Chain A
Amino acid sequence: MTLSALNADVIVDKLNTGEVTATDCVQHFLDRIQSHNGDLNAFISISESAVEQAESIDQLRKAGKPLGCLAGLPIAIKDGICVAGQPTTAGSKMLEKFSPPYDATIVEKLKSAGAVIIGKTNMDEFAMGSSTENSFFGPTANPWATNRVPGGSSGGSAACVAGRLAPVAIGSDTGGSIRQPASFCGITGLKPTYGSVSRYGLIAFASSLDQIGPMTRTAKESALLMSVIAGFDPRDSTSSKIQVADFLKSLESPLSGLRIGVVREHLDEGLDSEVNTKITDSISVFKQLGANIEEIEMPHTKSAIAAYYIIAPCEASSNLARYDGVRYTFRAQADDLEEMYRNTRGQGFGDEVKQRIMLGTYALSSGYYEAYYLKASKVRRMIKQDYDEAFQKVDLILGPTTPTTAFKLGQHTQDPLAMYLADIYTVSANLAGIPAISVPVEPSSNGLPIGLQLQGRAYEESSLLQAAHQFQIATSWHTANPSEPWRTQS
């Protein structure tokens, strides 16, 4: 069995026993990137120092030095997360030449656990998009069907894990940007509770919604990564001081007695019938595992997309103001200051980014603020109340991650609303700040992955990971790989 077929926890075991060296392991995945990234465009840049880092881990191991729990494990990082001295573009021309002088907190933690960053993955520009087609560096292809999108914005991370160009990856999720691509690419993706993973070093899209999380083949691997990246960070004022759970330990507990809520409307309106069938089938798996299924109501979630597309652009319009051509970014030629601003931002940002900056600027303007931002914030609180009430009755909420399977490249690029609806089931968790995970279920008849979403109470990632893990013990959908060479799918 080749290394790329193995799960990260198995690779770590083999590295620990010396069966495989970190150098060989990293080289193996670099070789796969070398051969396949041309087809997928999952990576924007490859780390030049990866092999060197792997070698030094091998030396430390040989010398009997204590090593971190991920020592030698290759990992891919979304390009919106700062890695010191490596290009960090956020998928934008604006940051094409930007190399941050510092590591994001999670990068620091991964490095000190011994993980080896092999490259930075493609994404929608500034994480704005659901298909990775909004990248300045070109779209990423879905390895299950290379004429289809991998989802977004963490499309590069999803595609590289599904295509086994990296064993595991890190993504970020503002409205579904981990879960939706995980669903489209047939992998597991966890959006943690807002505040449980530090945002320090994550290039902000919408600060009150952004959250970094793992994108892996299995729930167990996600638990492994969470045990490294979660926890309080004094550099992020919104990070929580709540004690980090033992994610790996709780995986093994059975689900008997677990109460799972299902929102009836989420399985009716606008949902692809095949997705509906596969999700419904999965519900019986959970029943067999001992869970009780209950119907619940979430009356305000129907307004979630509307609220999200006010709040996120408002925050983005402010967060992206710093890209003005004065420091570290692309700078366009101009004769005076105002022209420099106009040209830099006009040429440096893509259309979707500009559209959202304009939306947000408009919504925050004097005279509109109350009608848009404040109203949306009110809706947000009501959605949170829906969850609070639901979690009185149930432990988890189950539903589809996305209304459809992966759509074709170019299919929605002219129709932003259709694109925005790809996030319809995922944005609520961001608005409420709760954790949610997407796991693969039985694929569609034409072989495209389908994702099931579980949402849980704040800071109860461990329950999500446990339920996902138990589901993955009972099923094998997560073990499927797209056959190579990768094909298109009409």
Chain B
Amino acid sequence: MNHASNPQSTNRRVVRFDQSEIIIGLEVHVQLDTDSKLFCGCSTRFGGAANSQTCVVCTGMPGSLPVINQHALELSIRAGLSLNCQIAQSTKWDRKNYFYPDLPKGYQISQFDQPICGPGYLDIEAVENSSQPRRIRIERAHLEEDAGKSIHDESNRGQNSKIDLNRTGTPLLEIVTQPDLRSAAEAKSFLSELKLILNYIDVSDCNMQQGNLRCDANVNLHIPFGEEKIATPIVEIKNLNSFRAVERSITHEAQRQFEAWQENGFTIADAPKQTRGWNDHTQSTTLQREKEDSADYRYFPDPDLIAVKIEEVQIQQIKSQLGSLPSDLRKLLIERYNLKSADATVMVSQGRGVVNYFLEVADGCENSRIANNWIGQEVLRQLNESNQTIDQYPVSPQQFTELLKLVIAGTLDQTRGKEVLNEMVEHCISSQEAIKRLGIKPVDNRELVTLCEKLIAENQEVIEQIQSGNAKAIGMLIGQARKLNPNANPGLIKEMLSKMISS
């Protein structure tokens, strides 16, 4: 049947894309931040010489056997708890069998029917003014080992392909959501929040350049059509390794599905699940395979490993060490420290170290607004410029608090305060030392009077302007005053000049 010539297709043309709803589920692979691999003692460090981080176990030598990395289990439980997942009392290992040159055993050790983490959820903030905060349900999260890397000859000279097994056996946590996401922006927001949480709980650095966070997206559309709602065939987009790729590929795929539906009218019942790959260069998805001819992985329990029992005590202990999560901290900053929502989001997105720094300074100087301004602007800028983390920042929270106290008390004005901060950062010294180095000292009243008298005497024209109503002209005098004596407080000078001019 030629769908395009069907009268229905004319009706389909009437439907607008923006009337349809995008249904998205994600499968996120996160590399756990362990020192060693999931089933052997080899290092997981990134960037070593090819095959330098391998042993008889991760190269699948005959006779070698896997032994579970306890730290990977603990990190998985930590991740599960932070995503409100039920933690399995007993979890086991299954073999996923398929042939691939960079899969040395001919099977991947994974988890099939008893994942370490069961159902949970993650709340995300509203992505647009019009939308609401959303609860995204997590279906499961399971542990598995990564495969290696194939390096193919791209010179077209028929060179052999090469295989690097350094990554083989690296622990991955595969987090699978329910199809609860409704836009590309929500998918991105979910991933950002997930990444932030995993950073906060030291489960993964989620470095996407190094492939530590990879994502597949399952996408289809629900299109209102007459009385019914049409679901388009589900497409799995593979191997998205940047937030931008996730966002763009979903946007592209939704549009493509809509157009395909307008063209052929195929619904979820008419076509099997497809796998498509995202091409960053062409900014489009291309068909990889139909699910019908996908591999039969012949899962079965791995007889080389025993089931792991997880005791409630252990779960509680890990829970007690989780610390505050980003959402808790945003709430804290808004409700207890009176930060604006946007400011709280920025602060929390910087990581636990920055938040702790802020809390210590805000508590110490008892002024969260000033602490937020200074840390949110000066400190973050300096860290960014020097490419440092907060742990490496040369000014301790105590020293920073001392500095802000001087600013709050008016002992230092904003400009001088920033000069002092720069001096502190540059020379790793306290605020007192920086003040001394910069020659900052208090100016007494008599000096101020002399200074103002001199300014009035030498700037008659400006005075006349002020007296004829141009109040702003006083700024010129203040500027001159700063040049004559950098320690002179602009506020006091302004006050004194105004008095003297008007009298």
Contact = CB atoms under 8 A, between A and B. Distances in A.
B132 to A, nearest CB: 41
B300 A314 contact: yes
A133 B292 CA distance: 42
B306 A238 contact: yes
A203 B61 CA distance: 9
B99 A324 contact: yes
Interface string B425-455: 0000000000000000000000000000000
B256 to A, nearest CB: 30
Contact of A90 (B62, B95, B101): B62
A82 B305 CA distance: 20
B298 A366 contact: yes
A100 B303 contact: no
B295 to A, nearest CB: 10
Nearest to A92: B62
Nearest to A345: B99
A478 to B, nearest CB: 31
Contacts of B306: 237-238
Given A234-B67, A235-B67, A237-B67, A98 B62 contact: yes
Contacts of B303: 206-208, 238, 315
A199 B56 CA distance: 14
B112 to A, nearest CB: 11
Contact of B63 (A100, A365, A369): A100
Contact of A104 (B60, B63, B66, B107): B63
Interface string A364-395: 11100100010000000000000000000000
Interface string B272-307: 000000000000000000000000101110011110
B122 to A, nearest CB: 32
B418 interface: no
A90 B62 CA distance: 10
B251 interface: no
B64 interface: yes
B417 interface: no
A366 B97 CA distance: 12
Given A82-B63, A104-B63, A326-B104, A318 B99 contact: no
A96 to B, nearest CB: 13
Interface string B58-77: 01111111111000000000
Given A314-B300, A315-B303, A364-B300, A322 B60 contact: yes
Contacts of A323: 106
Given A82-B62, A202-B63, A321 B300 contact: no
A30 interface: no
A202 B65 CA distance: 9
A401 interface: no
Contacts of B56: 100-102
A208 B61 CA distance: 18
Interface in B292-330: 296, 298-300, 303-306
Interface string B21-65: 000000000000000000000000000000000001001111111
B370 interface: no
Contacts of A337: 101
A453 B5 CA distance: 78
B291 to A, nearest CB: 13
Contact of A200 (B65, B99, B107): B65
Given A321-B106, A364-B97, A237 B68 contact: yes
Contacts of B65: 199-200, 235-237
A369 B97 CA distance: 14
Given A314-B300, A364-B298, A95 B62 contact: yes
Contacts of A202: 63
- Most chain A CB inside 10 Å of its own CB: which residue of B62, B64, B67, B95: B62
A487 to B, nearest CB: 38
A167 to B, nearest CB: 25
B305 A237 contact: yes
A144 B63 CA distance: 33
Interface string B114-143: 000000000000000000000000000000
B248 interface: no
A328 interface: yes
Given A237-B68, A365-B298, A369-B300, A326 B63 contact: no
Contacts of B60: 322, 327
A486 interface: no
Contact of A321 (B59, B66, B97, B299): B97
A332 B110 CA distance: 30
A440 interface: no
Contacts of A366: 296, 298
A26 interface: no
B105 interface: yes
Contact of A365 (B64, B105, B107, B296): B296
A321 B105 contact: yes
A398 B64 CA distance: 35
A436 to B, nearest CB: 20
A304 interface: no
A450 interface: no
A200 B66 contact: no
A15 interface: no
Contacts of B61: 82, 100-102, 328
Contacts of A238: 303-306
A366 B112 CA distance: 13
B163 interface: yes
A201 B105 contact: no
Most buried by B among A88, A322, A366: A322
Contacts of B107: 318, 321
Interface string A220-250: 0000000000000011111000000000000
B67 A204 contact: no
A413 interface: no
Contacts of A158: none
Given A100-B61, A208-B303, A327-B60, A237 B66 contact: yes
Contact of A318 (B97, B163, B305): B97
B106 A322 contact: yes
Contacts of B106: 318, 320-324
A101 B56 CA distance: 8
A362 to B, nearest CB: 10
A309 interface: no
A40 interface: no
Interface string A75-115: 00000011000001010000100101110100000000000
A315 B106 CA distance: 12
Nearest to A210: B303
B142 to A, nearest CB: 18
A477 interface: no
Q: Which among B60, B61, B68 has the highest number of chain A CB atoms within 10 Å?
A: B61
Contacts of B95: 318
A141 to B, nearest CB: 27
Interface in A152-208: 199-204, 206-208
B62 A203 contact: yes
Contacts of A324: 99, 101, 106
Contacts of A100: 56, 61-63
A101 B60 CA distance: 12
Interface string B216-256: 00000000000000000000000000000000000000000
A320 B296 CA distance: 17
6 contacts: A102-B64, A104-B63, A200-B63, A235-B65, A235-B67, A366-B296
Given A203-B62, A204-B62, A321-B97, 9 more contacts: A100-B61, A204-B304, A207-B303, A234-B67, A238-B306, A315-B303, A318-B95, A320-B106, A321-B99
Give the 3 A-B CB pairs with smallest separation, nearest first. Answer: A321-B106, A208-B303, A207-B303
Interface of B: 56, 59-68, 95, 97, 99, 101, 104-107, 163, 296, 298-300, 303-306
Interface of A: 81-82, 88, 90, 95, 98, 100-102, 104, 199-204, 206-208, 234-238, 314-315, 317-318, 320-324, 326-328, 337, 341, 361, 364-366, 369, 373
